[in-house]
Amino acid sequence: MIYCKATRAAVPKTPAMIAGVFFFMTLAGCSEQTSSGVADGSRWQPASDDTIVYALPGDTGEGASLYELRRELSRNSADPAIAARYATVALKNYAQSGDPRLLGYARGALQRWQAVAAPPPAIWLLRGRLTQTEHRFEAAGMDMDRLLATHPDNPEALLLAADAWRRAGNLSAARGRCLTLSLAGFPELARLCAADVQLSSGQPQLALNTAAATIENYGAELDDEILSWAHAIHAEAATASGAVESALDSWDLALTATSQPTLALQIGRVDTLLEAQRYEAVLQALEPLPAADAVVLRRAIAGNALQHADLDAWRDELLVRFDDPAYTADDSLHWRERALFELDVMQQPQAALRAAQRNWAIQKGFEDAELLLRAAA
């Protein structure tokens, strides 16, 4: 069973070979919210003046800390370049920590352009990423298609659109965006894009072969972050094909290829261990990770299989989170997690099926179909 699938959006090398490729990976298919988070960025009142609300991350490696960017943004909130830089750093930090407050920060930075039909391209792409992260896949696909109407060869918009349409269940539209990537001069990205669609089409072996051939033919030319993405696709396809050892090797390559491994990559490897029922290894791999929902859920799944001493604590923590108003404010985000919880922790197949059906109405990836079938069995 595949528990979670990472969604990627990348800015690959342009024909001008612009350096500093940005690779953004979120758990678009998994909740990363923590129990204290307010995912929509709404106002939250701490219990006392001594409460530590959030420790801002340190330097991001991009020349300025998030705190410094926040100060700059407060002085120039209408400057799209500053807003884009701030939102980009917030999203990258979110991808590594799973802290939903960072999504709220990014959303706030882009709020001025939320209803603008054609904002500056950098803002437009970030808006698409946020929409995708909120599981509004059709809306994200439509927004990126509008951008592509005026910027038809933008590779990041094409990748975002392909992934959004794939998750919305419109595989024909997703294939079309992958084809356009090839016509625009990005054959390596087009093949990786196609491998993702093949996996969602129920063709894991074909996806595995496509990813392997892309790595073999283009691996030496790929930016590190794109190479990490390629190995992640190979790992997902290998897991779905039952090739656990190959999948684990690919996850390790994906993690070492990037200098900033995301939570999604680390959770992906954990899910392969779950697939292989290596529950002790699951708990060991989860130990250093932040207590995002995806992490606590997998602890509980492994703990249930092992009858671990901490199972009750993990289960109770998830129950508290599922009942938290901040968690349930947008019910489109958490149905997969709830289905997995009911199925693999609580052993409540009827409740799991209802949650899996709600999840399927929102997102239609390979792993969502598998979850629905498991719950219905």
Encoding tokens for residue 275?
A: 């697939």
DSSP designation for 48: S
Per the structure, the count of domains in the chain is 1
pLDDT tens for each residue of 271-313: 999 999 999 999 999 999 999 999 999 999 999 999 999 999 9
Distance CA 255, CA 234 (A): 13
82 near 70, Cβ under 8 Å?
no
Tell me, what's the pLDDT at 334? 85
Tell me, what's the pLDDT at 98? 87
- Tally the C-alpha atoms within 13 A of residue 271's C-alpha that lie toward its C-beta: 27
Distance CA 50, CA 47 (A): 8
Apex 33 CA angle, 165 and 49, nearest 5: 140
Place of tokens 């807003």: 83
Neighbouring CB atoms inside 10 A of 373's CB total: 11
Asked whether residue 362 is domain-assigned, the answer is yes
Tell me, what's the pLDDT at 146? 98
pLDDT tens for each residue of 31-89: 455 444 444 444 445 555 555 544 554 444 344 578 899 999 999 999 999 999 999 99
CATH number at residue 369: 1.25.40
Q: What is the largest CA-CA distance in the chain?
A: 58
User: Domain residues for 302?
Assistant: 277-377
DSSP designation for 59: B
- Look up residue 98 and give its amino acid: G
pLDDT tens for each residue of 182-231: 999 999 999 999 999 999 999 999 999 999 999 999 999 999 999 999 99
Asked whether residue 287 is domain-assigned, the answer is yes
Neighbouring CB atoms inside 10 A of 6's CB total: 25
Asked whether residue 357 is domain-assigned, the answer is yes
Asked whether residue 107 is domain-assigned, the answer is no
Closest residue by Cα to residue 173 from 137, 207, 204, 202: 137
Radius of gyration (Cα) for the chain, nearest Å? 20
Asked whether residue 292 is domain-assigned, the answer is yes
Burial 276-308 (b: 16+ CB within 10 A, else e): bebbebbbebbeebeebbbbbbbbbbbbbbeeb
Helix (H) or strand (E) holding 192: helix 187-200
pLDDT tens for each residue of 319-365: 999 888 766 666 667 899 999 999 999 999 999 999 999 999 999 99
Q: How far is CA 335 from the centre of its chain?
A: 15
